[in-house]
Structure 1
């Protein structure tokens, strides 16, 4: 977890991962394929960050609570030791800084992607 606290080191590590993937997987060593790999990594971070942001915002809390309550009421073999009301909701399981981390990394990689696209199309 210590590497996640330094967001700039993680950004450098992400660029290193993109470069290693480019060296090992690219059919041709050109800027086009590097931009494609950077796109995949950047939007993976943005996608995960948005999903965590929605979960952290409490969107699924009511649905989860309703399913737990329904399961408890309709179950034939009730477990009286199972305290379904005390289980943490999905918004309580995602740490507050985790969506910010993923969105920050995705935005930085996206800005890098836009800079490389500008370089690709201008030259």
Structure 2
């Protein structure tokens, strides 16, 4: 066997679809959570234009979920969290949503979740 580190799903006709990476999963108290699912829910908010969910260290759960969003208009993180409450199971709702001006990306336009998470480690956000 060869482990690629990819996550996939089989559809009803047994076609395989790659949906993410194992290393990107957030382990919150034993619950494996895909940050892509949270990203998709965040982007359903009508005023969120960019979103990224990421893990932060937690003394209780090992990892906790936070997110960074770029918004249009006057929206705060708590309003976005309340919106997610209607879309996600309670344990998947980020404990904090940071409203930022931009989400940093690589030269190819990809978001590196670990880089974003590092920006929020410690007492002050650096984005």
Alignment TM class, shorter chain as reference: under 0.3
More helix by share: 1
TM-score under structure 1 length normalisation: 0.25
Higher alpha-carbon Rg: 1
TM-score under structure 2 length normalisation: 0.24
